[in-house]
Amino acid sequence: MREIEAIITAAQAEYRRFVASGPDRETRTAVGNAVRFLTADLTSVLDLLTATQTRARS
């Protein structure tokens, strides 16, 4: 699970670097949406893994 958290953190950090480089609004919005979707998907995976592991221990 740490690997997934690391991917989320890296994606968000790279997005901040990307924004700091001054891209045009349309590109910034498209990339921002992609990072948000990636973060949401990976967060869902973390939630599923946590729930699965919790049930497996019970």
Q: How big is the CA angle at 45 (ends 53 and 54), to the nearest 5 degrees?
A: 15
Domain that holds residue 6: 1-57
User: What's the structural domain count of the chain?
Assistant: 1
Statement: the pTM of the whole predicted model exceeds 0.85: no
Alpha-carbon distances, residue 8 vs 13, 24, 33, 44, 55 (angstroms): 9, 24, 14, 12, 25
Cα separation of 58 and 41, whole Å? 26
Mean pLDDT of the chain: 95
Instruction: For residue 54, name the pLDDT band (cuts at 50, 70, 90).
Output: confident
47, pLDDT greater than 80: yes
Average pLDDT over residues 18-45: 98
